[in-house]
Structure 1
Amino acid sequence: MSERTILVWFRNDLRIHDNEILLEAVRKADKVLPVYCFDPYYFQKNASGSPKTGSIRARFLLESVADLRKNLRSLQSDLIIRIGNPAEVLPQLALEYGVNEVYHHREVAHEETDVSEQVETALWKIKLNLKHFIGHTLYHKEDLPFPIKDIPDSFSIFRKKTERESAVRPVLDTPDVINTPTINDAGELPTLVQLGLEQPVDDARSRTRFIGGETNGLYRLDQYFSEDIQPNAGKSTRSASKLSPWLSLGCLSMRQVYWAAKSHHSDALVLELLWRDYFRFMFKKHGTKYFNAGDSAVENDAPGDGLFEKWKCGNTGVPFVDASIHKLNATGYISNFSRQMVASYLVNDLEVDWRRGAAYFEEKLIDYSPASNWGNWAYVAGIGRNARDDRYFNTGKNLNELDIKGDFITRWLPSTPAGQSPLAQTV
């Protein structure tokens, strides 16, 4: 009997722990062929000449793929790396290595699902099956207390019913060893130049440099729970987890973070995970609605209009908005509260189409994920918002949450008249 070989197509699941497609392939096949493909589509430039994926975000991705290869090699395996259209690359590799089936994790955003459909069609032509797995959410779809089409649009209702009637599954095992076919050409990790990008220059004001990969993600998770707990209005609290960059690329497992949070009684972190689930299920339920609905474009919002240019360059004259955008451009990361503030200002004050801001965040954010990014922007624009959920997105809340002493604020904050708060323009 001939050996069975399964190709594991890594996308946004760049880890070896709690990875269902990897573990299932190891259990079902004699040989496992791990593959990652850098799709040129995600590095193309838009009509204005800006890249779909910016250099800081791309560097984090390259670091994550490199770490995945290192971790696979520690299990006596390897990672084949290619640059090209997956619908062309994967069938070629499947034929070269005598693959019997291809595994991958299902996505929900239309660009990613389109790629999956193209791959599925191409594989079908050579009589191979693309098997879909569900592995990006905290709660498995089959464990929800309602079918996808009936998921409540209100986050509050979704949260209460899910937490009351569903359970998060345990973390899966990590393979001890992975048997891989003899690889003739594993391929080299591309450079940023090969992807059409420039090397980013790290800003001296940034206190944190996010480094991609499962190894650093697990380190950050452990570091977060070892940090000193700070008192806050009579309660004990930790700073923001800053785990989203590793969660977005699947360097960290949602379930592993959840069980770590539960063991440390971190309700705030569990809430973060629930919001990620909510937006992902909303994408599954509504499809392209988030992209097409709520067109808030106005007459002065033309491609060459200065309002959006001032916003994305941090030249609006509003101190906190400008400082947040400068930090985003320099580091690829700002807090969730800052994101809500700058998004609300673009949509509600400047009256610029929210989709332009969402596309800009797609380029810049190192923790970009389609559902969370476009879902958040749609929420700010009022699409699908429930009044009971506004407390999470209220941009006028708690001015003491605004960091007026941070390096980016003090660098870009203009002088203000005596006795007037420099943040007066933000509310």
Structure 2
Amino acid sequence: MGTLVLLNHCLRLEDNPLLTQVEGELCAVVTLTRQQFFGQQYGLNRANLSRLRAQIDTITALKQQLAQQQIGLVLCFGNSSQALLQLAKQLNADRIVAAEPTAPEEYQLFSRLKTQIQVELNDVNSLLGSSLRPAFQSMPDRFTTFRKTLEPLLQVSPAHPLFQRRPTQQWLSPDQADALSSNWQTLIALASRDEHTLTAPTMPSFDEATVWQRVEHYIWQQQHILHYKDTRNGLSGADYASFFSAPLALGSLSVRALWQQIVAFEEQVRANDSTYWLKFELLWREFFRWQMRKYQSRWFSRTGIHGQPDFQLPQLTPKQQKLFSRWCQGETGVPFIDANMVLLNQSGLMSNRGRQNVASYLIHDLQLDWRVGAAYFEQRLLDYDPASNWGNWAYIAGYGNSEARPFNIIKQAIMYDPQAQFVKQMLPDLTAQGKQAHRPVAGTTLPAHWRNWLAELD
């Protein structure tokens, strides 16, 4: 009997226990579910072609890496449970080994599979090993408590070495895997359709080799990590942030391996507030992953993890739908909001500072259901991760792990783009000079709490 090694969310050779801890007759496989890329939620497409292409490119790079070791990668598109069960039947496999997920629909996939085949889940994308795995019943819902409880004890388990095929592993060959792949060419054709995609000069690459070049550049060569805390509130540029979020979401970068790179830098070069702060942000990622596992579908309730669940779909009036459409297109009339949304639509990425502001504006100033904003981010973000995305949106709305967090958009614009350089870069038709470019266009509704800060633009 054989084993299917499902590499969804684990598209790498470095620190990949799914590859290193299996023996016998093995088949490496990746599935993409049609619903996750071509389905809809709240009337929005769940993904755009740019995000799909990034996923395909990263999977293709892994396929090529494995082929160098004469290991094939079966690629399936459509209904994942049907594809995996059919493949198991064809290969006489009685076990599936996979990465433990966070999102409820993925847990549901494994629940369906478990009725017909043995499923083993390995938490390969978390910092917390089995000895530190939190119990859901006692896990705090506040990040500060979570961090203070775990941080003094946190010993991240060593990353597994770069995978090398062993004689005891009998993998399907590339030719055998290609013969078993299903609907993948159909997916390639769908992903090649002419649709508005990223207008950035080049599509970012998130394959493992490119990602490790980025780690080397950001941490070791240029040592940008030493000023991360000072630059992380930037809005655009090549090195104001680490840009590790997309490969972490795709699984082409191991969070444990990244953490250990930071620790090694601290030990060999220097530790400061910035090196700590990058680990601090990785702890935030960890917190949201465990929160999604704890509350599951509650994260898609209008009331989040508070009160009575309310899964009624967002109901937008025609006026609200128009406001939402303008927000999506970067046409609200508020330059700081519009600039960030244009950046998102063009590049598939947005700074953390920008994400907080556009979310606050949609929720607290436009008074729209926070879930439509989260759904639009799911569609557009190249670094989309269900736990971080939905957890952060609920956080700003006050339905997650915090009270509501409204931002004063004009104050934020003046603080983080004082001469409106970012705004004018993204909105070149603006003619106002300096910080005056942050003034909303005539006719824009101005919340009362902005007025004192609007005077600062004079």
Shorter-chain TM-score range: 0.7 to 0.9
Which amino acid is 1:138 matched to?
Answer: L
Tell whether 2:94 aligns with 1:100: yes
CA separation of 1:229 and 1:219: change in aligned 2, threshold 3 A: closer
CA separation of 1:232 and 1:264: change in aligned 2, threshold 3 A: closer
Q: 2:391 aligns with which of 367, 375, 393?
A: 375
**Secondary structure in 2 aligned to 1:104?**
strand
Task: Give CA-to-partner distance per residue, 1:63-93, whole Å, 9 cap, x none.
Answer: 1110110111122211011222121111111
CA contact (8 A) 1:79 1:186 kept: no
Deviation at 1:336, TM superposition (A): 1.1
Tell whether 2:67 aligns with 1:73: yes
Q: Which residue number in structure 2 is paired with residue 20 of structure 1?
A: 17
Q: Which moved more, 1:294-303 or 1:162-171?
A: 294-303
Unaligned runs of 5+ in 2: 233-238, 267-274, 304-309, 441-449, 454-458
Distance in 1 of aligned mates of 2:229 and 2:340: 29
Which amino acid is 2:253 matched to?
Answer: L
Q: Which residue number in structure 2 is paired with residue 51 of structure 1?
A: 45
**Secondary structure in 1 aligned to 2:3?**
strand
Q: Which residue number in structure 1 is paired with residue 379 of structure 2?
A: 363
**Aligned pairs (5 A) from 1:117-132:** 117-121=111-115, 124=116, 128-132=117-121
Which amino acid is 1:244 matched to?
Answer: S
Q: 2:288 aligns with which of 279, 282, 290?
A: 279
**Aligned pairs (5 A) from 1:341-352:** 341-352=357-368
Distance in 2 of aligned mates of 1:88 and 1:298: 31
Tell whether 2:422 aligns with 1:421: no
Matched length:
410
Q: Which residue number in structure 2 is paired with residue 180 of structure 1?
A: 171
CA contact (8 A) 2:396 2:405 kept: no
Higher relative helix content: 2
Deviation at 1:261, TM superposition (A): 1.4
Distance in 2 of aligned mates of 1:300 and 1:176: 53
Q: Which residue number in structure 1 is paired with residue 270 of structure 2?
A: none
Deviation at 1:194, TM superposition (A): 2.5
Task: Give CA-to-partner distance per residue, 1:305-336, whole Å, 9 cap, x none.
Answer: 21101100111001011011111111111111
Tell whether 2:190 aligns with 1:194: yes
Q: 1:319 aligns with which of 313, 335, 338?
A: 335
Distance in 2 of aligned mates of 1:9 and 1:159: 31
Q: 1:31 aligns with which of 25, 31, 35?
A: 25
**Secondary structure in 2 aligned to 1:239?**
coil
Q: Which moved more, 1:182-191 or 1:240-249?
A: 182-191
Distance in 2 of aligned mates of 1:64 and 1:419: 41
Deviation at 1:236, TM superposition (A): 9.4
Deviation at 1:405, TM superposition (A): 2.0
Distance in 2 of aligned mates of 1:288 and 1:66: 31
**Secondary structure in 2 aligned to 1:14?**
coil
**Aligned pairs (5 A) from 1:240-319:** 240-265=241-266, 266-294=275-303, 301=317, 305-319=321-335
**Secondary structure in 2 aligned to 1:264?**
helix
Which amino acid is 2:3 matched to?
Answer: I
TM-score, length of structure 1 as denominator length = 0.86
CA contact (8 A) 2:414 2:435 kept: no
Q: Which residue number in structure 2 is paired with residue 133 of structure 1?
A: 122
Runs of 4+ in 1 over 6 A off after TM superposition: 230-238, 295-299
Distance in 1 of aligned mates of 2:229 and 2:373: 37
Unaligned runs of 5+ in 1: none
CA separation of 1:322 and 1:162: change in aligned 2, threshold 3 A: same
Distance in 1 of aligned mates of 2:61 and 2:368: 39
Q: Which moved more, 1:105-114 or 1:397-406?
A: 397-406
CA contact (8 A) 1:40 1:85 kept: yes
Deviation at 1:385, TM superposition (A): 3.7
Distance in 1 of aligned mates of 2:345 and 2:231: 32
Deviation at 1:255, TM superposition (A): 0.3
CA separation of 1:94 and 1:45: change in aligned 2, threshold 3 A: closer
TM-score, length of structure 2 as denominator length = 0.80
Q: Which residue number in structure 1 is paired with residue 306 of structure 2?
A: none
Q: Which residue number in structure 2 is paired with residue 5 of structure 1?
A: 2
RMSD: 3.2
Deviation at 1:111, TM superposition (A): 1.6
CA separation of 1:320 and 1:257: change in aligned 2, threshold 3 A: same
**Secondary structure in 2 aligned to 1:83?**
strand
Distance in 2 of aligned mates of 1:59 and 1:335: 22
CA separation of 1:63 and 1:421: change in aligned 2, threshold 3 A: same
Q: Which residue number in structure 2 is paired with residue 61 of structure 1?
A: 55
Distance in 2 of aligned mates of 1:158 and 1:230: 24
Tell whether 2:145 aligns with 1:154: no
Q: Which residue number in structure 2 is paired with residue 113 of structure 1?
A: 107
